[in-house]
Structure 1
Amino acid sequence: MSESGQPPGTPPGPMSFKDKSLAVSLFVLFIAFVVIFVFAAVFFLITGTFAILGITYDSWQSILSFIGMSMVSDLVLGGLLLFPKVLCAMVFRHSPRWQLLLFHLLLQFTFDLLSVHYIDEWMDGVTIGGGAEVGFVLIMIAIDTLIPDSRKKRTLNEGPPQDRVR
């Protein structure tokens, strides 16, 4: 017998309305706390990075629109970068993997730098200096490289396609 007087493995009795409402309330408060914490951490991380790099902005809306436009341009450039990446994988077929990875990072850096520069020129609410643009792009590439993606990791570990002799 367990401490409750029931044999082990027996489900507990029904919960009262007070117990159910307490459990649901605590769960909702926990989820709300987690969502607010994550949003605040991401938002202050971004604004803190902006302050360190010397990026000036007029309002919170201009930061949010800058981040939104950066995400949209990243999606567009991701599609546009697919062709050069496949082309360089075919050209560097017999090269070591580190050269292919270095060339991919150079392509990504160039396209991201152009994207951030044009978004900066287009927006009046956010002002980024030349060095801050490079620093911001390097931080974006570092985050993109460090975030695990099983498809990306698998293709990088396999390396460029090799001619197989049967």
Structure 2
Amino acid sequence: MSNDNSSFRDMNFKDKVLAVTTILFLIVFSISFVLGIAYFGFAGIFSLLGVNYNSFYSLLIFVASYYLVGIITDIFSKAIVRVSSQFISGKWNLLFARMMIDCTVTWLLIFTIDEIMHSITIPFPIEILLAVLLFIIGVALEDKKD
């Protein structure tokens, strides 16, 4: 009887450690790469928009806070969009409603983090522009099957 796990059982301890270490390294590298792109993306956008922050560490805290709290707020905004889409007809009307909901939730998130953190200063018009820009980037990068 052949088992798919028999090749892993036949490996010696050194080979198993090497395999597990390699897989963990690839996972950590992948996550770090994505987080690095997000960090430097925010750094670039903030540089272009003239946002002031005290250090790269404060920017890192802002980006981490944005994504951690954003996961929760994104769930609520998607639920609101899904419910409201039942009452809105037309592709453009739905897109506009989705834009208003997503941009409002994103702006509230950016505003809240900006107010809590004293090491970063984002002017009000830049907060709005940033929320709209993040919505456009999100729409451009999302899966088109919906």
Aligned twin of 1:125: 119
Instruction: Say if 1:154 and 1:54 are closer, same or farther in 2 by CA, change over 3 A.
Output: same
Structure 2 residue identity aligned to 1:75: I
Amino acid at match of 2:145: R
Q: 1:118 to 1:38 in 2, by over 3 A?
A: closer
1:53 aligned onto 2:49: yes
Given residue 141 of structure 1, which amino acid in structure 2 is its aligned partner?
Answer: F
Root mean square deviation, CA, Å: 2.4
Given that residues 56 and 127 in structure 1 are in contact (C-alpha distance below 8 angstroms), is that contact kept between their aligned partners in structure 2? yes
- The 1:41–1:118 alpha-carbon spacing in structure 2 relative to 1, beyond 3 Å, is closer
The one-character-per-residue Cα deviations of 1:36-89 (angstroms, maximum 9, x if unpaired) are: 998876644432321221211111110011001111122111111133112211
**Hey, what does 2:79 align to over in structure 1?**
83
Asked whether the 8 Å contact 2:81–2:98 carries over to 1, the reply is yes
SS at match of 2:142: coil
Aligned-partner Cα distance in 2 for 1:86–1:45:
29
Using CA pairs under 8 Å that are at least 6 residues apart, name the structure with larger relative contact order, 1 or 2. 1
Uncovered stretches (5+) of structure 2, i.e. residues with no partner? 1-25
Percent of aligned pairs sharing the same letter: 24
Q: 2:85 touches 2:94 (CA, 8 Å); kept in 1?
A: yes
Partner-residue secondary structure (3-state), 1:141: helix
Q: How many residues align?
A: 118
Structure-2 separation of matches of 1:108 and 1:125:
26
Counterpart among 131, 135, 138 of residue 141 in structure 1: 135
Q: Does 1:63 align with 2:59?
A: yes
Q: Any stretches of 5+ residues in structure 1 without a counterpart?
A: 1-30, 156-166
CA distance in 2, matches of 1:87, 1:38: 31
Structure 1 contact 54–129 (Cα < 8 Å) conserved: no
Shift of 1:97: 1.5
Query: In structure 2, do the counterparts of structure 1 residues 44 and 72 end up closer, same or farther at CA, with 3 Å as the change threshold?
Result: closer
Q: Alpha-carbon deviations, 1:75-126, whole Å to 9, x = none?
A: 111111133112211112xx11211111011100111011100100001111
The structure-2 alpha-carbon separation of the partners of 1:119 and 1:38, relative to structure 1 and needing over 3 Å to count, comes to closer
What is the DSSP-based 3-state SS (H/G/I as helix, E as strand, rest coil) of the residue aligned with 1:91?
coil
Asked if the contact 2:38–2:63 (Cα under 8 Å) also holds between the matched residues in 1, the reply is no
Q: Is the 8 A contact 2:107 2:128 kept in 1?
A: yes
